[in-house]
Chain A
């Protein structure tokens, strides 16, 4: 029989791998008992012999001496392979060996890897790949195919309505109703749970989508079922696979990862917490799952960075390398001068603030990944031992790069870059599969974006800071060289960030891109020509800000970066305001017309201000969404977020750092948590909002767009006061 592997996981009780295979007729459960995990130890030879001797006392399936490469690019060395009988004992045994060697004498390898990933590698299989199976599984597919048959997955959407007493559902609130696709089940709670269970079994979906199933609903349903002594499990086989939720800090933000609630034999995707699903949809996930060897259900809960790491690990293992457990690759010592030279990011030309006509934007496609491939940057190729006289030298910082071998990272990235370009090309055709290609191209884009950051991450399997520095150095060199070419051809550079340039002038951009691509070896593309573009200043200093601009392409499309409209915490009202203003401004065909359209844009602001003061704005338009960065007790200052947290805490809700709170500001000056804000979920509809506060936000959002034309916050406030004096507007002060 033939079918696709849709789910795969280890069974720790029976020590086997369970594989669920979707066939054209239905679903098959396949158990593979051949597979036993193995880890490796390296030490001095006599110690290794002694260790092998000691290990025979334990429940070990097999001890083998094998020659393996213990670090990228090194020669093979004798290692001891330890195959365990019990899946659950691998980690214990590895920890024990590590302790025997005082955490110093033994280097351990291949310890903390996913069992399904090991299994796939061992038998040349991959998830979502087509297999043939009788007694054994055999792959009849290749992960790198561009067009491959996709299983016809049956999908269902699950939605739970909770009778929440306090607006926000808790485990103590009963189930109101449950919706599975078009069917709604309500009535007594016990019956709802029983009916849902049998309906899921009847429909037998392969994929169940939920919104916040991981964060709340799956756990909630199980808890409710406990009250009636029911066993609640939506999997094809009982036994869930859970993990705890956690708050973590990344790129200056606290984020919250909800606990995972994975099913057996069915794919549960939480659409609200899966970054990759939100970005690329199911076709993207399937494509990446095939490439990196992680089943879709697990993959949907990971970051693109974990996926690229998995691909690197797979490639390393395939080429006879071992993967070190608890990698500890110290950074080479650097002097202060070296650090100043090396530790820098991409190159930037400060934008010239204001409105410009006829600007051309050009971009390097996947600049950083392309640099890694083209200049062979990988942890084992930068300053390698084998090429001390290499002629490949990183600009500015002088690291030498290996000329003899292609590094691991370029080897992994090269096919991904090419694959993405192919999908992008296929996307342009208007076939039925356009959406599929688009999703695949999107997920690969995220893969490429993250792989650069991982080179600078100390704990990443193949991270090394010197790679990160080299990539940046090449990036700066490339942008500088490109700028020189642009200037020689008569362009003026208005702005440039890392991999993009905004150019003014009448020279031929196509010819320019061709020359730049030839010189740098990386394709340069025209993003578009703007009828007009406005570069915005930073709010505090008035100097040009990076990545804050909006402009109108000559094809009529508007591109917006960095203004309130694009931010997650902006209330819908402000988003509407800026969208409406841009709509008015987008009628302008050049900067002259833009300036003439400014009064009409200010009219839009006036309408919003008047509606706010006349209390015509519905409360849901005013909801502010804020990500909480600390626990309530750790806050020292008094602000809207703290008031919101306090209000939630009064009602018994504990918010973790990284989770979001939604509220409306009712009285910004109040010292009482219940008067200052109102949590969105608690709104009854008769609350009064703080009109002054929201008027200020409207004016700020206006200044956000129009400040380069002289309309900053102060000017706008003065204008409004004089307006108010002369028109029917009631005075703002008395309106509270």
Chain B
């Protein structure tokens, strides 16, 4: 999860959240969403 947050550290800085947790959680959600989507697509292909 830390790694997922780090992947979006620069974007989070740009967004300038008052509470850094906002960017942290969003980064993790975004990366999870991406993996979910990838898994779903893989499943549908089968």
Q: Contacts A542-B3, A543-B3 hold; do A337 and B13 have CB atoms under 8 A apart?
A: no
Interface string of A714-728 (1 = CB under 8 A from B): 000000000000000
- Tell me the smallest distance from the CB of A673 to a CB of chain B, in Å: 39
- Residues of B close to A350: CB separation below 8 A: 7-11
Cβ-defined contact, A543 with B7, below 8 A: yes
Cβ-defined contact, A347 with B3, below 8 A: no
For B5, the closest partner residue in chain A by CB is: A543
- Count contacts on B: residues with CB < 8 A to the other chain: 13
- Residues of B close to A336: CB separation below 8 A: 18
Cβ-defined contact, A344 with B13, below 8 A: yes
Query: Which residue of B3, B9, B11, B18 contacts A340 across the interface (Cβ within 8 Å)?
Result: B18
For A336, the closest partner residue in chain B by CB is: B18
Q: Contacts A337-B18, A340-B16 hold; do A541 and B6 have CB atoms under 8 A apart?
A: yes
Bound Cα distance A336, B18 (Å): 8
- Residues of A close to B7: CB separation below 8 A: 350, 543-544
- Residues of A close to B3: CB separation below 8 A: 541-543
- In the complex, whether A476 has a CB less than 8 A from a CB of chain B is yes
Chain A residues numbered 349-366 whose CB sits less than 8 Å from any CB in chain B: 349-350
Cβ-defined contact, A344 with B16, below 8 A: yes
- In the complex, whether A341 has a CB less than 8 A from a CB of chain B is yes
- Residues of A close to B13: CB separation below 8 A: 344
Cβ-defined contact, B14 with A347, below 8 A: yes
Query: Which residue of A341, A348, A349, A543 contacts B16 across the interface (Cβ within 8 Å)?
Result: A341
- Residues of A close to B10: CB separation below 8 A: 347-350
- Residues of B close to A349: CB separation below 8 A: 10
- Tell me the smallest distance from the CB of B9 to a CB of chain A, in Å: 7
Bound Cα distance A542, B6 (Å): 10
Chain B residues numbered 1-34 whose CB sits less than 8 Å from any CB in chain A: 2-3, 6-11, 13-14, 16-18
Chain A residues numbered 326-340 whose CB sits less than 8 Å from any CB in chain B: 336-337, 340
- Residues of A close to B18: CB separation below 8 A: 336-337, 340
- Tell me the smallest distance from the CB of B11 to a CB of chain A, in Å: 8
- Tell me the smallest distance from the CB of B28 to a CB of chain A, in Å: 14
- Residues of B close to A341: CB separation below 8 A: 16
- Residues of A close to B9: CB separation below 8 A: 350
For B20, the closest partner residue in chain A by CB is: A340
Query: Which residue of A337, A476, A542, A543 contacts B14 across the interface (Cβ within 8 Å)?
Result: A476
For B9, the closest partner residue in chain A by CB is: A350
Bound Cα distance A476, B15 (Å): 12
Bound Cα distance A350, B2 (Å): 15
Bound Cα distance A350, B8 (Å): 8
For B8, the closest partner residue in chain A by CB is: A350
- Tell me the smallest distance from the CB of B36 to a CB of chain A, in Å: 20
Bound Cα distance A344, B13 (Å): 8
- Residues of A close to B2: CB separation below 8 A: 541
- Residues of B close to A347: CB separation below 8 A: 10, 14
For B2, the closest partner residue in chain A by CB is: A541
- Residues of B close to A337: CB separation below 8 A: 18
Chain A residues numbered 529-581 whose CB sits less than 8 Å from any CB in chain B: 541-544
- Residues of A close to B8: CB separation below 8 A: 350
Sample 13 A-B pairs with CB under 8 A, ordered by A number. Answer: A337-B18, A340-B17, A344-B13, A344-B14, A344-B16, A347-B10, A349-B10, A350-B7, A350-B9, A350-B10, A350-B11, A541-B3, A541-B6
A sample of 9 more A-B contacts (CB under 8 A), given A340-B17, A347-B14, A543-B6, is: A337-B18, A340-B16, A341-B16, A344-B13, A347-B10, A350-B8, A350-B10, A476-B14, A541-B2
Q: Which 8 A-B residue pairings sit nearest by Cβ, starting from the closest? A: A348-B10, A543-B6, A340-B16, A341-B16, A543-B7, A541-B6, A350-B10, A543-B3
